Structure 1
Amino acid sequence: PVESCSSVVRALALQVRDLSSIPGRGRNLGKENKQPSSLKKRWKDTAETLIIGGGCVGVSLAYHLAKAGMKDVVLLEKSELTAGSTWHAAGLTTYFHPGINLKKIHDYSIKLYEKLEEETGQAVSFHQPGSIRIACTPTRVDEFHYQMTRANWNVTQQFIIGPEKVQELFPLINIDKVLAGLHNPGDGHIDPYSLTMALAAGARHYGAELYYPAPVTDLTPRSDGTWDVETSNGVIRANRIVNCAGFWACEVGKMIGLEHPLVPVHHQYIITSTIPEVKALKQEIPVIRDLDGSYYLRQERDGLLFGPYEHQEKMKIQESWVTDGVPPGFGKELFESDLDRIMDNVEAAMDLVPVLKEADIINVVSGPITYTPDILPMLGPHQGVRNYWVAIGFAYGIIHAGGVGKYLSDWIMDGEPAFDLIELDPNRYGKWTTTKYTIEKARESYGFNNIVGYPKEERFGGRPTERISGVYETLKSKSSMGFHAGWEQPHWFYKPGDKTGYRPSFRRTNWFEPVHRECKHVMEKVGVMDLTPFGKFTVKGKDSIKLLDHLFANVMPKAGHINISHMITARGQVYAEMTISHLSEGEFLLVTGSGSELHDLRYIEEKAISGGYEVDIQNITDEMAVLGVTGPFARKVLQKLTKADLSGSAFKFLQCKPVTLAGIHLNAMRISFTGELGWELYLRQQDTAALYNAIMEAGQEFGIDNFGAYAMNSLRLEKAFRVWGTEMNLDTNAFEAGLDYFIKLNKPAEFIGKQALRKIKEEGLQRKLVYLTLQTDDIDPEGNESIWHQGKVSARINKWLYSVRHFETSRRRGKRYIKCKDYYIIIYFAI
């Protein structure tokens, strides 16, 4: 049966497709004429927000902005609404996502789709039979339990069910190999065309203008931050533009000199004719996701729709579009199918759902979807270009569209996001994101679509990039490298007898003992760490202090000193944390985490320009290296390399000085994120290897050794040092995060968020970050686990790290936010 089906499939691939058999399109063909383009009216010549792209995401943004009260919302679509990837999408919807932030996007989308037909009068063909993810191995069952710890934070239903329950819900399944299912009631699928038309109807109702066909031919930024958008029907002046152009997004970006890291991937799915066993069912069957078979399967009328994600060696990227651009006339066309690529997936599906063996196939759809290197969309304002926003790279655009439209609308209307979504920040990519890297990484991401999602996951496609430090070659053979914003940085180091390499697990794995060893070494002797991936900016000029006093809640340090400072939003949330060094009069060095480099730089640049500050801001991340030397013997090691006095009285904590070490001129900062005695040494990249070798030689008598990021994070947590992105972000205000010491409400400068923080302090806190210790076995919390109390989720773990000082009793230390009225929760959970 498999062979005969294969031959049938191959024959069908050569047939001309009947587009009416694509899900929902037969029922909706011609409806577009009932929602005419605004081209029948006179075009607006100005727009508050101009959206480029009329797919589901772009139309959702127009709908939400207009509904929120924005008066001049204009959308331009080069072809017709849904052209591109929306019209041929399989339309899957799910509450599930491994990240808790994107669960909020999914949750909002589904709730919007449930009521959209009633609001707009446009049918959306929304089916909610639920979904089941299938586990056929013990590792997959572990993964389900791991994901269950993150469930219910957003009050959505999710259950682990046994094989018999799986078969009860999906009677067509062969459960011989099934161990468990992860069941999400309320999941399902929606017709993408009808959904987009409903959003378009709503957008028009609330006052948005949707023009099509209306290709954008050029974009010209103006000195006041506005844009001239050239179209086939004249120029529109826009206060901001939002690129929602799908696989055309790169062409739009090139108009202003940007290379967006996107690739078009061929994604195929198969539609069967009526299957008697499906037709005989009394109710619609849940969507099935066979993770090891790497495909989804759902009911389509009285047949089935089957969509695979083939292995990275078999999947296809339309590389000519990346190098040469999208063909000018491509809009609602499809690619030629290639069923040979997916035969492994087909055979897996026939094994799990045997009725597929006898099914007739009536259509094969192969269309373009856009992938970013890490599979996540790019969402928000783009660094380096004023008032240019993006909502692009949607591999799962249908489930994201509703929530993304709301999220971006709130951000634009309110001036800041409603919650943190830094994982979607377009500025997570930079100049290091080359075309070669983008293609290799997107290929890996597509092929790994259904791979087991382990904690501390590392993927190696496209690595290393050009972002390697001067000691990379020395350290790479001794360590397990992690990837941070393009950089390679040691996570932990090997010793003889250690199990080397990346060995993922849901339990303690090969890094556990070495990290414990590194922590003890730093506490008892001295260690050196490559900190080069830090984001590093210089700010200088006559208004430098004024700008930084406006941006940061702390008082700026005096020349030769350092402090920890935070940028606060107008609502009082924590936008960023930075180490600020006052190098000389009017010249500052700002240091941030590698993952927030361009996220922070964009914000600083934006406020400098909008405030009219006369400053020079330079990103020196790639030019400047950093080595950290820390531990009880750190001073003795470094003193051997310099004539400068490094004594505690001469070089105090939180001081910075130019120093010559081993003949190398650098800036030395008396600070260490481990909480131990230490210095951070800032120097030219080309001097890194020489300095590292000199430090290691000088430190031999003191037992110096390398340590990595895992050990540093464990040590910093023991000292209650918070880090942006886990213990604090846009979801937390400064006082919830315990940053009181760094917030100077009495400083003369009116910093952003000052009034909001005063109000928060007056009204009192609703929740607070607390430190707890936890007795564990070999399965440790990873972060974002839900904490249950009296039958409901009352808090979640923000971060855990191993406490070396409690090693003998095997205790974990974690940080959690709990409601202030529930302080007894600390004792109640007996952690």
Structure 2
Amino acid sequence: MSAMLRAALRRLPLPCRGGRPGPSAALRALGGAASARAGKENRSPSLGKDKADTVIIGGGCVGVSLAYHLAKAGLQDVVLLEKSELTAGSTWHAAGLTTYFHPGINLKKIHAYSIKLYEKLEEETGQAVGFHQPGSIRIASTPTRVDEFKYQMTRAGWHPTEQYLITPEKVQELFPLLNMDKVLAGLYNPGDGHIDPYSLTMALAAGARKYGAQLNYPVQVTNLNSRSDGTWEVETPLGVIQAKRIVNTAGFWAHEIGKMIGLQHPVIPVHHQYVVTSTVPEVKALKTELPVIRDLEGSYYLRQERDGLLFGPYESQEKMKLQDSWVTNGVPPGFGKELFESDLDRIMEYVEAAMEMVPVLKKANIINTVSGPITYSPDILPMVGPHQGVRNYWVAIGFGYGIIHAGGIGKYLSDWILEGEPPFDLIELDPNRYGKWTTTEYTAAKARESYGFNNIIIYPKEERFAGRPTERTSGLYDLLKTKCSMGFHAGWEQPHWFYKPGDETGYKPSFRRTNWFDPVGREYKQVMERVGVIDLSPFGKFKVKGTDSVKLLDHLFANVVPKVGSTNISHMLTPKGKVYAELTVSQLYPGEFMLVTGSGSELHDLRWIEEEVVRGGYKVEIENMTDEMGVLGVAGPYARQVLQRLTAEDLSDGSFKFLQSRHLKLSDIAVTAIRISYTGELGWELYHRKEDSVALYNAIMDAGQKEGIDNFGTYALNALRLEKGFRAWGAEMNCDTNPLEAGLEYFVKLNKPADFIGKKMLKQIKEKGLKRRLVYLTLETDDVDPEGNESVWHNGKVIGNTTSGSFSYSAKQSLAFAYVPTELSKVGQKLEVELLGKNYSATIIQEPLVLTEPTRTRLQRKGQSPKI
């Protein structure tokens, strides 16, 4: 950058720290649709009522969107309280970008709803929103980035929104001001654009009032009191409101609201800066508005702002800045529409990158910089939904991209509140994905990483390492950490795959087979031919006991309640018959149960169970044993021989049957042993005190030397479970699927006497017939394997999607589950699966590819020859 430009940047009029910028600066920075400010403000000298169904705390775009959607859906007594004025906080200074694109899956629905809402909001409310839809282009300037775009295209193909992989020529046609020297491809979303955040919020507010919501400001919430009946007392300087539920939408004040009830929400304010130029002649001369571009290698976005340009960088984690003092000391009193002092040195290299990609910037006069707080969670995703452990307390906080999320999240939360279940799967936003292990130090480290990684390449099986390990490590972590590649699971470190001499170690992400491929095959063979040990400690583990324990579980689960000493696989369904959770249930003693779920579902499932306990008045005690209890899995044809050396208990097939549970001692260590294994092979899960993990592990490894015992990780476990046709919650089943289409009929007892949740709706679904089914596919691929969420094709059209996939080390080809229309679900049907821009032939086969050990044993007893 020239010394002259650098000096010019330093001479910019900057807003004072803690002071409100002048109107002209704010309007220039924000696009300033002054006409949008004509709506009447609703400033209340009093609360107007002392009772409400729902009190929303925070008047940014998310909170106002929720008020709008709840009121429009007919909910009476919706009250929003804002401490300053509507849009104060992150909303006010946002750049207002809107996009259909999201690298994940479920949030695509949120983005799509928001854009469709914003398109019609002005007509509905009479309030201008300043919505521009010139489209957007993500720029690929490396071959790996092109691979990422192909990866994202296959994940978008089974969604209704428009997205295209375009050539450099098309990129230049759409954005003629680009330097095309490095452009290899573009990812183009025609409906993308930007909206004026202030105008959007005012339009949502107008709609909320139109449908009966009451928006009160300035009214500060000073305290929250939970009553014994689950309702809340919301204290303000103007009086107290009693509410059935409260929703924290307080933006960067969310942490303070949480502290009022003893919660430490993992959110932290981040400094984000963007720059606005004056008129650029080349921009002014254009006949149509430029699409938004995102130069991913340059790590910035750029859009047209009137006849000039606006661009905002995401600095590296080493350069970006957190407002740590706010977490420690709270947001300064009175902070509302203030801005931070800009720090141009942090963004100079990104300014230079933008000038190289868009050369007209070199001649542009930069008239303003905006540096304001946006709120980050550790993983950059917001927290949305009810909070475990606190009745009728909901959150919609931690929005790094609140403008595009606001419309869809308002609708999503409104539906959940009114209907009693989430309208679709969005577990990645569950506030209960965090727990006590999410410390302030961890939050800061992850937020810094997430901000700095805003535009990095997103690979399958992505791992990020800041803030790790947390305090939530298993008893085996120190013993195994140098022997394997660890993965992060809800705060835990868990081995993904293990090293041997000659292996290329470490995390080597790729869209194709990479350094873990052959080692995972080795671990697969270890379990199939010998015996392997896996650390399963991250499982969520609950104990349930009490007078009504059997009655509760009979109501919660679609399967029957197992007898004492037995275990089964059970599913909790929503009232609409969707699969809310999958757990193993063991009755250890009469009326005392152990429930086990996946690591990422721990508090998600516990909250649902606790809610039903309160709703039904069940007399039970629930204890979360997740952190205190370790779990080792031992699996393979020699598993019985190895464990038998450590105990006097009879572990023979006749004495210790499949799906039985028993308390015993292994090498004098007390364990609860369940004969079950997600590998589908002969195996046990051994539940024990965390402090006994090392001793138990060493005893098992010593006992198995003759059989060649060794470790295996979760990658091999996934390959093994897919070959056995085992479903996974969050992939083959979730709140988007019912158990019948997922092929879970065996676990659903529609004829059991108990009226379990979802039973009525499931009967109706069965009577009407299914529109789609989960099928089992083999694929003819080369160096790439399915992961899940890829598009499935038939006769030139996308007709479904994969849910999970892996290489089959038995069949030596790729294997996947997929949802397809019922008429295309028969064994032998030929389909195609799109992987990295290429359609590979696929065939529906009879599942499973490999029979489970219990099935093979049963067939052998009958004199039949089972397939392996």
1:578 aligns to what?
Answer: 583
CA distance in 2, matches of 1:76, 1:825: 57
Judge conservation of contact 1:13–1:339 (CA < 8 Å) in 2.
no
| Mapping for residues 298-697 of structure 1, pairs under 5 Å | 298-697=303-702
Shift of 1:41: 7.1
Deviations 1:749-791 (A, max 9, x none): 1111111111111111111111011111002222101112344
1:814 aligns with 2:819: no
Shift of 1:553: 0.7
> Aligned match of 2:24 in 11, 15, 20?
20
1:165 aligns with 2:170: yes
Runs of 5+ unmatched residues, structure 2: 832-841, 844-868
CA distance in 1, matches of 2:526, 2:654: 26
Q: SS at the partner of 1:176?
A: helix
1:5 aligns with 2:5: yes
1:272 aligns to what?
Answer: 277
Q: SS at the partner of 1:433?
A: coil
Shift of 1:344: 1.1
Deviations 1:50-99 (A, max 9, x none): 10000000000000000001011100000000000001000000000011
Deviations 1:327-352 (A, max 9, x none): 01101100010010011111110100
CA distance in 1, matches of 2:713, 2:372: 44
Distance 1:362 1:329, change over 3 A: same
CA distance in 1, matches of 2:369, 2:45: 37
1:43 aligns with 2:45: no
Shift of 1:11: 2.4
Distance 1:3 1:163, change over 3 A: farther
Judge conservation of contact 1:18–1:363 (CA < 8 Å) in 2.
no
Name the aligned partner's letter for residue 175 of structure 2.
F
Name the aligned partner's letter for residue 139 of structure 2.
I
Over aligned residue pairs, what C-alpha RMSD do you find? 1.3
Shift of 1:152: 3.1
CA distance in 2, matches of 1:298, 1:408: 31
CA distance in 2, matches of 1:540, 1:96: 46
> Aligned match of 2:211 in 186, 191, 206?
206
| Mapping for residues 37-116 of structure 1, pairs under 5 Å | 37=42, 39=44, 43-116=48-121
Larger mean CA deviation between 62-71 and 28-37 belongs to 28-37
Distance 1:475 1:19, change over 3 A: farther
2:751 aligns to what?
Answer: 746
Larger mean CA deviation between 724-733 and 816-825 belongs to 816-825
CA distance in 2, matches of 1:153, 1:8: 48
1:222 aligns to what?
Answer: 227
Shift of 1:816: 0.5
CA distance in 1, matches of 2:511, 2:439: 33
Name the aligned partner's letter for residue 681 of structure 1.
L
CA distance in 2, matches of 1:817, 1:26: 44
Q: SS at the partner of 1:628?
A: strand
CA distance in 1, matches of 2:495, 2:540: 17
Shift of 1:153: 2.1
TM-score, structure 2 normalization: 0.94
> Aligned match of 2:738 in 733, 737, 741?
733
Deviations 1:581-613 (A, max 9, x none): 111011100000000000000000111011111
Larger mean CA deviation between 758-767 and 575-584 belongs to 758-767
Shift of 1:26: 6.8
Q: SS at the partner of 1:714?
A: helix
| Mapping for residues 695-714 of structure 1, pairs under 5 Å | 695-714=700-719
Shift of 1:118: 0.4
> Aligned match of 1:182 in 175, 183, 187?
187
Name the aligned partner's letter for residue 777 of structure 2.
L
Larger mean CA deviation between 153-162 and 708-717 belongs to 153-162
Shift of 1:9: 1.4
CA distance in 2, matches of 1:825, 1:328: 66
CA distance in 2, matches of 1:404, 1:2: 44
Judge conservation of contact 2:535–2:633 (CA < 8 Å) in 1.
yes
Distance 1:692 1:27, change over 3 A: closer
Larger mean CA deviation between 438-447 and 163-172 belongs to 163-172
1:800 aligns with 2:805: yes
CA distance in 2, matches of 1:621, 1:42: 44
CA distance in 2, matches of 1:15, 1:411: 41
Judge conservation of contact 1:23–1:191 (CA < 8 Å) in 2.
no
Shift of 1:824: 5.6
Distance 1:648 1:501, change over 3 A: same
Judge conservation of contact 1:10–1:340 (CA < 8 Å) in 2.
no
Name the aligned partner's letter for residue 824 of structure 2.
D
Runs of 5+ unmatched residues, structure 1: none
> Aligned match of 2:260 in 226, 246, 255?
255
CA distance in 2, matches of 1:168, 1:709: 47
Larger mean CA deviation between 781-790 and 655-664 belongs to 781-790
CA distance in 1, matches of 2:415, 2:265: 24
> Aligned match of 1:788 in 760, 776, 793?
793
Deviations 1:140-174 (A, max 9, x none): 11111110101232211111112221111111110
Judge conservation of contact 1:19–1:26 (CA < 8 Å) in 2.
no
Judge conservation of contact 2:33–2:130 (CA < 8 Å) in 1.
no
Shift of 1:14: 4.7
CA distance in 2, matches of 1:182, 1:2: 32
Shift of 1:653: 0.7
Shift of 1:827: 1.8
Name the aligned partner's letter for residue 650 of structure 2.
D
Distance 1:214 1:451, change over 3 A: same
Judge conservation of contact 1:174–1:351 (CA < 8 Å) in 2.
yes
1:285 aligns to what?
Answer: 290
| Mapping for residues 121-132 of structure 1, pairs under 5 Å | 121-132=126-137
1:722 aligns to what?
Answer: 727
Distance 1:41 1:793, change over 3 A: farther
CA distance in 1, matches of 2:503, 2:219: 62
Distance 1:107 1:696, change over 3 A: same
Q: SS at the partner of 1:400?
A: helix
1:768 aligns to what?
Answer: 773
Larger mean CA deviation between 400-409 and 739-748 belongs to 739-748
CA distance in 1, matches of 2:50, 2:43: 13
1:758 aligns to what?
Answer: 763
Shift of 1:10: 2.1
Distance 1:182 1:825, change over 3 A: farther
1:118 aligns to what?
Answer: 123
Distance 1:225 1:805, change over 3 A: same
How many residues are treated as equivalent by the alignment? 828
Name the aligned partner's letter for residue 350 of structure 2.
N
CA distance in 1, matches of 2:310, 2:667: 67
Name the aligned partner's letter for residue 765 of structure 1.
L
CA distance in 2, matches of 1:252, 1:589: 35
CA distance in 1, matches of 2:37, 2:230: 35
Q: SS at the partner of 2:746?
A: helix
CA distance in 2, matches of 1:447, 1:763: 50
Larger mean CA deviation between 323-332 and 788-797 belongs to 788-797
Q: SS at the partner of 2:242?
A: strand
Shift of 1:8: 1.5
Shift of 1:822: 2.7
Name the aligned partner's letter for residue 349 of structure 2.
D
